[in-house]
Structure 1
Amino acid sequence: MTQNFAADVRRMTEKAKANMEFVFKASVQDVSEIMTRRQASVTDTGGTFQVGLVPVDTGELINSVEVSVNGAITGQGANKAPPDFVASLGTLRLGDVAEIVFTAEHARPMEYGATGKFEGRFFVRHAVQNWGVIVDQNARLFED
């Protein structure tokens, strides 16, 4: 009886660890996808924009998205698109450090706005503020 209980606890522990790793990796991928959702440039939309979306005109901003895991660059945007986050974050494990950044010079003004010129798009802030909801959604995949 004791051996069966111990084996059950070991199985449950291993399952929980695997689930935690999946939830973590899927959540980082989801936040990355959300913060790089595209919108046509204000020129193409007639001057309007939607908060939380990355404006794409020349592609410089979205192409500047860079992914690194533990300091090693694993993905880079190109062709007016962000990198493939599933591939770029494929080596990510619990305890690792992932960074998803916009490296274009105008990334900060686009995120936060430029006084007297235009309002912030808040594509990064919007995604990051939803971290808890995203983790909960991924965790629900493992509810029995």
Structure 2
Amino acid sequence: MRRTWLAAASVLALLVGACTGGGGGPTGPTGGQTGGGGEIHLVMWMGYTPPPPVEDSSEYLSIERMVKEFEAAHPNITIELQYVNSDNALQKATVALQGNKQPDISYQYGTKMPQLATSPKLVDLTDLVSDPAY
């Protein structure tokens, strides 16, 4: 379990790095700044609801904790968590990608990746997270 959350935190860091490292202009599709060294605001879609009830929110609280740790290590970057109903996440992501309204970061279940992977707007991080040095 710990390895899974460490991997999730690492992927979050890589996703943010991938989203903020380019020089593609002053703002990204959701308003997140993509370069220039100033304040960067990113939007992350995920299917976990915030508490209450606390007993049903461990996933949300874990992601929120990882985001806060990342923001503490990178004070010029803020990540806004937005709830997207898991039942509609694939449809919403597909439409958002087609309309250039995708979030900067999206937490998607692996079973949905084949449908999303064909989009040229996604960044494949497989080589980075598979590297033993990572």
Task: Select the structure that is richer in strand.
Answer: 1
Fold equivalence (TM over 0.5): no
TM-score, with normalisation over the residues of structure 1?
A: 0.32
TM-score by length of 2: 0.33
